[in-house]
C-alpha cells in the first residue's frame, strides 16, 4: 500500500522539475569571456578577476532554482516597465530597430574584453523637468527594503554598483548615441513586493566613469600578467567576503 503521508507532494515534484530545468539551462550557458560593465563597480577587484576568468565558485555558491526564478521574474518586470513607459509617451528603444529580435544596444572596448548592454535609450518623451533626450535608461528590481532605501537616499548613495554602471554606460555609449552623456540618465526601480515604481535622474559622473574604465584596464593587465589583485579586506569575516562566491578559493591562497 502506498504511504501518501510520506510521498512528495505535487508542488514539490513540479518545483523540483522546474528548478532542475533552470539549473540545467544555466549550466549549459557558456560563461562570459569579458568584463561586464554592470559589475565593474563591485567593491572587490579580485572578485572581478575571478568572475572574468570564470574561476570555479565555492561548492555552496552555485545559483539554485529559486534564485534563478528570482532573476527571471526581475527580467519579466523590466519588460513590463518598458511597456509602461512607452504607454506613457516615452520613445524608448531597447533593441536596434526596436524589434524583439534586434541586437541589444551596447558597447565593446579593449578588444571586446569590456562590454555592456544597456536597458534602453530614451529618444524622446514627455516634457518633464530636468529630462533631456537622448538619455540612458536603466531599470532594476528590488525587494521592499532596498527599494525604500533607494527612494530615501538615491541610487548613487545606496547602490554604488548601479551608479558606476550608469556612468560607464553614459560614457561608452556617447560615440553611438551623441549627447547621451549630456543628459541625465533615467533610473527606474521596481518594488518587487508592492509594484511601486521609483524614478530618478542621474547626471553623468565623468570622474566615476573614468575610475571604472581605469579599473577595467587594471584588472585586464593584472590578469594577463598572471597576478592577483589585492583582496578588499584583511579578514575573512568581512561582510563582502562572507557573501562572495569565491571566498573559499580566495582565502585559501597565501595572499
Domain extent for 121: 33-55+64-251
Q: Is residue 144 part of a domain?
A: yes
Q: Is residue 23 part of a domain?
A: no
pLDDT of residue 81: 97
Q: Is residue 20 part of a domain?
A: no
Q: Is residue 21 part of a domain?
A: no
Q: Is the CB of residue 223 less than 8 Å from the CB of residue 47? A: no
Q: Which of 71, 93, 72 is nearest to 82 (CA)?
A: 93
Q: Is residue 3 part of a domain?
A: no
- How far apart CA 137 and CA 23 sit, in angstroms, is 30
Q: Which of 85, 84, 89, 117 is nearest to 103 (CA)?
A: 117
Q: Is residue 181 part of a domain?
A: yes
Cα-based distances in Å from 65 to 12, 18, 22, 31 = 13, 8, 6, 18
pLDDT of residue 52: 93
The grid cell for 73 is 521574474
Q: Is residue 246 part of a domain?
A: yes
Which CATH number do you get for residue 217?
3.90.320.10
Q: Is the CB of residue 163 less than 8 Å from the CB of residue 205? A: yes
Q: Is residue 22 part of a domain?
A: no
Q: How confident is the model at residue 1 (pLDDT cuts 50, 70, 90)?
A: very low
Cα-based distances in Å from 127 to 85, 124, 132, 133 = 14, 9, 9, 10
Q: Model confidence over 30-61: pLDDT tens digits?
A: 878 899 999 999 999 999 999 999 998 887 55
Q: What is the β-pairing status of strands 135-142 and 185-191?
A: parallel
The total of structural domains in the chain comes to: 1
pLDDT of residue 213: 96
Amino acid at each position: 500500500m502506498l504511504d501518501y503521508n510520506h510521498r512528495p507532494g505535487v508542488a514539490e515534484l513540479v518545483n523540483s522539475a522546474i528548478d532542475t530545468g533552470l539549473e540545467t539551462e544555466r549550466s549549459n550557458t557558456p560563461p562570459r569571456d569579458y568584463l561586464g560593465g554592470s559589475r565593474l563597480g563591485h567593491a572587490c577587484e579580485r572578485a572581478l578577476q575571478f568572475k572574468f576568468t570564470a574561476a570555479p565558485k565555492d561548492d555552496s555558491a552555485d545559483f539554485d532554482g529559486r534564485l534563478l526564478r528570482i532573476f527571471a521574474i526581475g527580467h519579466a518586470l523590466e519588460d513590463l516597465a518598458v511597456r509602461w513607459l512607452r504607454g506613457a509617451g516615452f520613445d524608448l528603444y531597447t533593441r536596434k530597430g526596436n524589434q524583439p529580435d534586434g541586437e541589444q544596444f551596447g558597447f565593446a572596448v579593449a578588444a571586446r574584453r569590456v562590454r555592456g548592454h544597456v536597458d534602453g535609450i530614451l529618444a524622446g518623451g514627455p516634457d518633464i523637468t530636468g529630462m533631456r533626450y537622448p538619455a540612458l535608461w536603466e531599470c532594476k528590481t528590488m525587494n521592499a527594503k532596498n527599494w525604500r532605501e533607494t527612494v530615501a537616499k538615491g541610487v548613487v548613495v545606496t547602490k554604488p554598483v548601479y551608479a558606476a554602471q550608469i556612468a560607464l554606460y553614459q560614457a561608452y555609449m556617447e560615440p553611438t548615441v551623441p549627447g547621451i552623456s549630456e543628459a541625465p540618465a533615467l533610473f527606474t526601480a521596481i518594488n518587487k513586493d508592492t509594484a511601486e515604481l521609483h524614478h530618478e535622474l542621474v547626471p553623468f559622473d565623468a570622474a566615476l566613469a573614468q575610475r571604472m574604465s581605469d579599473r577595467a584596464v587594471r584588472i585586464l593587465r593584472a590578469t594577463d600578467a598572471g597576478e592577483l589583485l589585492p583582496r578588499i579586506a584583511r579578514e575573512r569575516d568581512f561582510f563582502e567576503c562572507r557573501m562572495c562566491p569565491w571566498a573559499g578559493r580566495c582565502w585559501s591562497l597565501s595572499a
